[in-house]
């Protein structure tokens, strides 16, 4: 199982040649692709009407991992660590990273600069 960050889906929406996206590559190598409920929210609110049918089709085939109490506890710990190290990242990235850490799922992202700062997070490259 691989947790997809929002950046993977944004690239999929933007590129005309879908076979040149990381999403396509991952879908060829992994059968169980999932997103966090945070990513589902981010894509939902940032979705243009022109992409909504495509998003609905893509999201039907992705498992949505819930943000629960364990994720919240993990997010708090990540936030405190990043704050102490003066390496803060966007809140959504903290929440998505916390989901991956809590469920022990590797994450695929195009935003390695931020996600590399989260200790214990396995990033697929």
Taking residue 31's Cβ as centre, other Cβ atoms within 10 Å add up to 8
Dihedral sign from CA coordinates of 71, 77, 78, 83: positive
- What are the pLDDT digits (tens) for 28-43? 999 899 999 999 998 8
User: Which one, of 71, 65, 61, lies nearest residue 23 by Cα?
Assistant: 61
- What are the pLDDT digits (tens) for 46-104? 776 666 777 778 888 899 999 999 999 999 999 999 999 999 999 999 999 999 999 99
- Please name every residue paired with 4 in a beta bridge, in sequence order, or none if there are none: 35, 108
d(CA 5, CA 84): 24
Is domain 2-124 classified as CATH 3.40.190.10?
no
pLDDT of residue 51: 67
With 80 as the cut, is the pLDDT of residue 45 above it?
A: yes
pTM: 0.91
Task: Sketch the domain layout of the chain as residue ranges.
Answer: 2-124
């Amino acid at each position: 199982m691989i947790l997809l960050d929002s950046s993977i889906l944004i690239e999929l929406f933007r590129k005309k040649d879908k076979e040149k996206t990381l999403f396509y590559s991952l879908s060829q190598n992994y059968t169980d692709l999932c997103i966090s409920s945070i990513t589902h929210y981010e894509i939902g609110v940032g979705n243009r009407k022109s992409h909504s049918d495509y998003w609905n089709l893509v999201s039907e085939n992705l498992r949505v991992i819930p943000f629960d109490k364990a994720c919240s506890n993990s997010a708090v710990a990540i936030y405190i660590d990043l704050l102490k190290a003066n390496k803060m990242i966007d809140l959504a990235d903290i929440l998505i990273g916390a989901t991956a850490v809590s469920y022990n799922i590797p994450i695929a992202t195009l935003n390695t600069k931020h996600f590399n700062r989260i200790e214990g997070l396995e990033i697929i490259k």
